[in-house]
C-alpha cells in the first residue's frame, strides 16, 4: 500500500485541465425560497395599531377573509379602556383579495372578538367568541351574493370623490353589520372564549345539574 501511495500522478500537471474538461457540462442548481408579500389589509380606523386576534379564509368563497382585532395594549390598560371601547368599539372586518383598499364589511361586536369560525355548510353564517365570554352569530345575508361573486360592496365613485379617514362612518360608505344572535351572559360563562367548534346536527349537548 505504501508503494502505491508513492507512485507518481499519471496525469501530472494536466490534472486540473482534465478535471475542468469533465466539469464543463456540470450545472449547479441553486434554489432560493423567498416569501413575497402579495396583499396586505389595513384600515386606518379599525385595525391600525391594533393586534390581530384571529384570521380565517372563507371555506367556499375564493379570496374572502375575515379578521378580528383588539387594542394592542396590556390587559390592565385594556380593562381601563372599557368605557372608551363602549363608545367606539372595535370591529370585525370582511376583506376581499380582489378589492383590498377597504374592508367589504364592518361587523359590530359586543366586546372584542378573540376567535371566530365560518359555518362549514352555511357559507353566510359566522360565529365569534368574545373576551367577555359571549358568543355572537352573524348572517351576511344580502351581501353573500356579491362576496361569493367577487363583486365589490363599496362604491368606487364615492372613494374617488370624497376620500376622508372617516369615510365609511360619515357616508355609510362601508355597510355595518350587527350580530343576529348572542349568548346570554347570565346563563353562560364570563371568561374569554378561546375556541369555537361547529357540531353536526346529530350531536346534542345536554346540561344536567
| Strand 50-57, strand 64-71: pairing | antiparallel
80 domain residue, yes or no: yes
Is the residue at 27 inside a domain?
Answer: no
Q: What is the pLDDT of residue 181?
A: 93
R_g of the chain computed on alpha carbons: 29
Q: List the domain range (segments joined by +) for residue 99.
A: 50-187
Distance (Å, rounded) from C-alpha 90 to C-alpha 74?
16
Q: What is the pTM of this model?
A: 0.70
Instruction: Give the separation between CA 199 and CA 178, rounded to whole angstroms.
Output: 24
Number of folded domains that form the chain: 1
pLDDT mean values, one per 10 residues, the chain (209 residues): 56 71 65 70 71 92 92 65 59 90 89 92 94 92 92 73 52 82 84 89 74
Q: Is residue 70 part of a domain?
A: yes
Would you state the cell numbers that stand for residue 18, as one nine-digit string? 482534465
Q: What is the pLDDT of residue 174?
A: 84
Domain-located, residue 129? yes
- The answer to whether the Cα torsion of 84, 101, 175, 115 is positive or negative is negative
**What pLDDT was estimated at residue 91?**
85
**Domain for residue 119, yes or no?**
yes
User: How high is the pLDDT of residue 144?
Assistant: 94
Is 6 contained in some domain?
no
Separation between Cα atoms, residue 41 and residue 201, nearest integer Å: 35
Amino acid at each position: 500500500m505504501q508503494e502505491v501511495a508513492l507512485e507518481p500522478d499519471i496525469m501530472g500537471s494536466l490534472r486540473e485541465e482534465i478535471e475542468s474538461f469533465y466539469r464543463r457540462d456540470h450545472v449547479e442548481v441553486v434554489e432560493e425560497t423567498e416569501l413575497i408579500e402579495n396583499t396586505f389589509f389595513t384600515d386606518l380606523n379599525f385595525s391600525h395599531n391594533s393586534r390581530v386576534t384571529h384570521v380565517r379564509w372563507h371555506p367556499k368563497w375564493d379570496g374572502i377573509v375575515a379578521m378580528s382585532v383588539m387594542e394592542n395594549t396590556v390587559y390592565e390598560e385594556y380593562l381601563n379602556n372599557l368605557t372608551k371601547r363602549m363608545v367606539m368599539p372595535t370591529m370585525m372586518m370582511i376583506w376581499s383579495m380582489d378589492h383590498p383598499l377597504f374592508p367589504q364589511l364592518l361587523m359590530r361586536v359586543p366586546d372584542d372578538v378573540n376567535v371566530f369560525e365560518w359555518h362549514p355548510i352555511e357559507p353566510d353564517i359566522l360565529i365569534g367568541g368574545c373576551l367577555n365570554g359571549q358568543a355572537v352569530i352573524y348572517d351576511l345575508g344580502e351581501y353573500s351574493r356579491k362576496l361569493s361573486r367577487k363583486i365589490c360592496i363599496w362604491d368606487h365613485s364615492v372613494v374617488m370623490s370624497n376620500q376622508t379617514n372617516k369615510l365609511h362612518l360619515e357616508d355609510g360608505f362601508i355597510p355595518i353589520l350587527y350580530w343576529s344572535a348572542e349568548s346570554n351572559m347570565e346563563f353562560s360563562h364570563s371568561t374569554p372564549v378561546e375556541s369555537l367548534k361547529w357540531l353536526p346536527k346529530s350531536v346534542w349537548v345536554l346540561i344536567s345539574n
